Structure 1
Amino acid sequence: MPDKKRWKDLSPRTRRLIVAAGTAETLLKLAALLDLRRRPAAAVRGSKVKWGTAIVVVNSLGVVPIAYFLYGRRPVDRQRA
């Protein structure tokens, strides 16, 4: 069985890609959680608690926050705003 690569064994390019991907996922999760917190429950498809849990817990490479932005939010009624 091959040995696992350690951080120091990775090329600088691979390290940068890992850090960039982690940063992007963190920013997506943060943006989704902030939007979820500010949005009224009536403007969210499904439970806010379930969306929040999925966004935080699921290691998704950004899939869950993107799904929230695309499918979890109801359209804003512009006449009220």
Structure 2
Amino acid sequence: MSGKKWQELPRPVRVGLVTAGGAEAALKVWSLIDLVRRPADQVRGPKALWAFGLMTVNSLGAVPLIYLAKGRRH
């Protein structure tokens, strides 16, 4: 495997990776806080399964966005 070191990556790539990572982390925190505060009857599916998915799956923000869009009842 001939991966590049962090310093060898072009600056725009490094900025993009840090930005994407920060966005995913923020979405996960927001989703987890909402999940903890929301009563179980307002969540579609088991809260434990949502929490497990949110904490373990690296999805470029897809799992938190799915939870926020479809996993909550209003």
- Bin for the TM-score computed over the shorter chain: over 0.9
| Long gaps (5+) in structure 2 | none
Measured in 2, the distance between the counterparts of 1:9 and 1:73 equals: 42
Runs of 4+ in 1 over 2 A off after TM superposition: none
Q: Which has the larger radius of gyration?
A: 1
Q: Percent identity?
A: 46
Which protein is richer in helix relative to its size? 2
**Aligned residue in 1 for 2:60:** 61
Measured in 1, the distance between the counterparts of 2:21 and 2:3 equals: 20
Residue 3 of structure 1 deviates from its aligned partner by 1.4
RMSD: 0.8
Measured in 2, the distance between the counterparts of 1:35 and 1:3 equals: 41
| Long gaps (5+) in structure 1 | 76-81
